[in-house]
Amino acid sequence: MIKLAPSILAADFNVLGKQIKTVEEAGVPYLHIDVMDGNFVPNISFGIPVISSIREKSNLIFDVHLMVNEPERLLEDFKKAGADIITVHAEACTHLHNTIHKIKKLGLKAGVSLNPATGLNVLDYIINDIDMVLIMSVNPGFGGQAFIPSSLDKIRDLKEKAQKAGANIDIEVDGGITPDNVADVLEAGANVIVSGTSIFEGDIAANINRYYEVFRKF
Ligand code: DX5
Ligand code: ZN
């Protein structure tokens, strides 16, 4: 089942609640929430108070992408704020195995994200412990960047790796995805599509429909 995860990083924060309602009414299952600490990535986005506030008004599955160093310090706080899925970066965790198990113990789904230059080998001994892998198809930190083409090979390799390991994981891809290149991403094996700019710029409902037109072919 293919899932669309609009990234609110690209939303108009002046009318954030209204825009979340629009994506919810368009029938998307996930809301992708990018938390940046200005340390792991060279940008600061928003954090716990914003998530708590939008949680009161939305029933979407909150897919929280933590671009922060040593996120294990903050897992409980993000759970309390309303996260359903917490994804941490392999590069940001000294004790990745421990961090994943802490997320699972909180009763949440656990994802591991990999920067474009990080190999899949970091997943070797944890792939059966996690629910999702998030392949970054841009260098994290900013919306509106161009999709890195080598991500497609990485998605294919990950799909094969998961099959070999008998791991039933979601493969999420994040960065530079548009209705024009999403077919390539799906063909490579992804099933969760993050999209910021190409959903929130212009007519949100129409943009989502353009994605759904492509999804119908898969
Ligand atoms: C980048 C974020 C992405 C970003 C995607 O660091 O993780 O989720 O918002 O935005 P677009 O779709 O504009 O590349
Ligand atoms: Zn993200």
Residue 137 C-alpha from the chain's centroid: 11
Is residue 5 in contact with ligand 1, taking CB distance under 6 Å?
Answer: no
Q: Which domain holds residue 56?
A: 3-215
**String of DSSP letters for 100-167:** HHHHHHTT-EEEEEE-TT--GGGGTTTTTT-SEEEEESS-TT-SSPPP-TTHHHHHHHHHHHHHHHT-
Is residue 196 in contact with ligand 1, taking CB distance under 6 Å?
Answer: yes
- Domains identified in the chain, total number: 1
Known catalytic residue at 124: no
Helix (H, G, I), strand (E, B) or coil at 10: helix
With the most atoms of ligand 1 within 8 angstroms of its CB, the residue from 174, 181, 198, 210 to mutate is: 174
Catalytic residue among 129, 174, 180, 184: 174
- Residue that the structure tokens 């001994």 belong to: 125
Known catalytic residue at 131: no
97 labelled ligand-binding? no
Residue closest by Cα to atom 9 of ligand 1: 143
Q: What is the pLDDT of residues 9-45, one digit of tens each?
A: 999 999 999 999 999 999 999 999 999 999 999 999 9
CATH number assigned to the domain comprising residue 92: 3.20.20.70
pLDDT in tens, the chain (218 residues): 999 999 999 999 999 999 999 999 999 999 999 999 999 999 999 999 999 999 999 999 999 999 999 999 999 999 999 999 999 999 999 999 999 999 999 999 999 999 999 999 999 999 999 999 999 999 999 999 999 999 999 999 999 999 999 999 999 999 999 999 999 999 999 999 999 999 999 999 999 999 999 999 99
Total-model pTM = 0.99
pLDDT of residue 11: 98
